[in-house]
Amino acid sequence: MTTSYDVVVIGGGPGGYEAAIRAAQLGMSVACIERRLGKDGKPALGGTCLNVGCIPSKALLDSSHRYEETQKHLAVHGIDVQGVSLDVPRMIARKDQVVSQLTGGIAQLFKGHGVTWLQGQGKLLAGRRVLWTSLDGQEQTLDAGQVILATGSEPVRIPVAQVDGQYIVDSTGALDFQEVPARLGIIGAGVIGLELGSVWRRLGAQVVILEAQPEFLPMLDKQIGKETLKLLTKQGLDVRLKARVTGAKLDGQQVVVSYEDAEGAKTESFDRLIVAVGRRPVTEGLLAADSGVELDERRFVHVDSQCRTSVPGVFAIGDLVRGPMLAHKAMEEGVMAAEVIAGHATQVNYDTIIGVIYTHPEVAWVGMSEEQARAQGLQVKVGSFSFAVNGRALASHDAQGLAKFIVDESSDRILGLHVLGPQAGDLVHQAMIAMEFGASIEDLQLMTFAHPTLSEVIHEAALSVDGRAIHAVQKRRK
């Protein structure tokens, strides 16, 4: 028996579920195929982000930050606390409850919008047909007017450090430790490595991060990257650059890691090792040989600016395609694909996709770094301002970091903003909105920002571009 839908979405992560809901809102019959099982063994929507990525990691980041604040930083407020104890299983259980609440919420949204949730595996066949294999192994062919591929990504595995799920784990396993490792090793100083390292460092682990690349967070403005490394090192993260791991083996209950740096071959022993060297698109089993969909050399699906693949009527979004592997990027692409199918003129502005690292302080950026702008031959002016003299930050005892604008000299247009500081992930949106509307830095300079707020740092950084910051001594440009 063949069932027909206007749209079939393969993948129920952030991009897939938003694509399905938006298509349903636009009056189309929609089915979403998702194979994931939750930690409880039951079918779960939400993909990596809600189940084993963005949401659970942020829950643990928040819990661990509160624990460290209670242990070490309340005395400055006149609050003395004694007898603080840590219950890791309860912390993990809270994380799981947050995940369950959100994934269950998506199921309710599907029900409310009339989206059919097909639990199991989806494979694209020729002619925009989709083979659905249910969780119990039953197969059914679906006729789809349009197909959206949204199967996301998975952790990259490396042969020198084979994941065993107990002592050597990937990012998923690192969310479920039942006790704090005395010594924790992490391969990879990217976003995932730094966030997971921050969680377990705050809870008491000695954390060593081994990064093969010579530069720390190369996507950041260099000034911001340098300050970020300085602060994380001060907190206790031992980040070692130019450290190429050559092997990892279990010796009793210790993981012995071999690596090479500028000084030669070295070894370190850890109670647990996290492999966080990046992610790759999930395409295995997704495409029949005659589906017609083209992949590039890294197995990303080739798409145009509106996420159309090489096959008419087939779209691909999120981590399957070019660009940063970010949930919010996938969400916008999912909505765009649904609207394009409905005949709407819509586009994602990839120049204003925000990046955030949820360490403390947070790091966030939008647009170009100073180095990227100059590499393109642009004449730029920059301005920065520190949280150290911001009234709200000082009142909150959270005054580390700075904000930095990059502005085109000739047009006065904002090219980028990089923020290291409290609530950076929220503050950076002010520049994103300005950039979306083509605002100049003068537009921000002329706006009134509430006092006292952290947002004043953004205002002062904008003023600083032209030497006009009030709470800093600088040479005025105009």
- Summarised one tens digit per residue, pLDDT across range 31-48 is 999 999 999 999 999 999
pLDDT at 478: 55
Q: Could you tell me which residues are beta bridge partners of residue 10?
A: 33, 149
Q: Cβ distance 398 to 428 under 8 Å?
A: no
250 burial via Cβ count (<10 Å: 0-12, 13-18, 19+): middle
Whole-angstrom CA distances from 31 to 4, 145, 208, 314, 419 are 9, 11, 45, 15, 40
From 73, 397, 451, 471, active-site residue: 451
Long-range contacts, 20-25 (Cβ 8 Å, 24+): 20/110, 20/113, 20/115, 20/148, 20/334, 20/338, 21/109, 21/110, 21/113, 21/115, 22/334, 22/335, 22/338, 22/339, 23/148, 23/338, 23/341, 23/342, 24/113, 24/114, 24/115, 25/113
Average pLDDT over residues 225-241: 98
What is the rounded distance in angstroms from the CA atom of residue 440 to the CA atom of residue 447?
12
pLDDT at 76: 95
Average pLDDT over residues 100-107: 97
What are the DSSP calls for 80-109, one per residue? --------HHHHHHHHHHHHHHHHHHHHHH
Model's pTM, two decimal places?
Answer: 0.96
Q: Could you tell me which residues are beta bridge partners of residue 381?
A: 407
Q: Is the pLDDT of residue 1 over 70?
A: no
Count of C-beta atoms within a 10 Å radius of residue 39: 17
Instruction: Name the pLDDT band for 170 (thresholds 50, 70, 90).
Output: very high
Tokens of 183: 């010594």
Q: Cβ distance 7 to 20 under 8 Å?
A: yes
What is the rounded distance in angstroms from the CA atom of residue 127 to the CA atom of residue 385?
56
Whole-angstrom CA distances from 304 to 180, 307, 345, 469 are 46, 5, 15, 43
What is the bridge-based pairing of β-strands 30-34 and 116-124?
parallel
Instruction: Write down all domains in the chain, each with its CATH number in brackets.
Output: 2-155+280-348 (3.50.50.60), 168-277 (3.50.50.60), 353-464 (3.30.390.30)
pLDDT at 319: 98
Task: Compute the Cα dihedral for 212, 213, 215, 218 and give only its sign.
Answer: negative
Return the axis-axis angle of helices 54-68 and 191-202, rounded to nearest 10°: 40
Q: Cβ distance 356 to 425 under 8 Å?
A: yes
pLDDT at 129: 97
Residue type, 360: H
Per residue in 361-370, pLDDT (tens digit) is: 999 999 999 9
What are the DSSP calls for 432-470, one per residue? HHHHHTT-BHHHHHTS---SS-THHHHHHHHHHTTT--T
Per residue in 58-90, pLDDT (tens digit) is: 999 999 999 999 999 999 999 999 999 999 999
Q: Cβ distance 64 to 72 under 8 Å?
A: no
What is the residue-averaged pLDDT of the chain? 97
For 71, phi then psi, to 5°, come to: -70, -45
Q: Cβ distance 427 to 419 under 8 Å?
A: yes
Q: Which residues make Cβ contacts (< 8 Å) with residue 48, sequence separation at least 6?
A: 13, 54, 152, 153, 154
Q: Is 360 a catalytic residue?
A: no
Instruction: Name the pLDDT band for 147 (thresholds 50, 70, 90).
Output: very high
Average pLDDT over residues 241-270: 97
Whole-angstrom CA distances from 101 to 38, 54, 398 are 12, 14, 31
Q: Which residues make Cβ contacts (< 8 Å) with residue 53, sequence separation at least 6?
A: 47, 171, 327
Whole-angstrom CA distances from 201 to 137, 161, 393, 396 are 43, 22, 24, 23
pLDDT at 477: 61
Nearest to 32 by CA among 48, 40, 21: 21
What is the rounded distance in angstroms from the CA atom of residue 377 to the CA atom of residue 127?
46
Q: Cβ distance 32 to 116 under 8 Å?
A: yes
What is the rounded distance in angstroms from the CA atom of residue 358 to the CA atom of residue 337?
29
* Cis preceding linkage at 361, omega within 30: yes
Per residue in 354-400, pLDDT (tens digit) is: 999 999 999 999 999 999 999 999 999 999 999 999 999 999 999 99
pLDDT at 2: 76
More reliable by pLDDT, 472 or 147: 147
Angle at alpha carbon of residue 419, lines to 228 and 362, rounded to 5°: 60
pLDDT at 473: 83
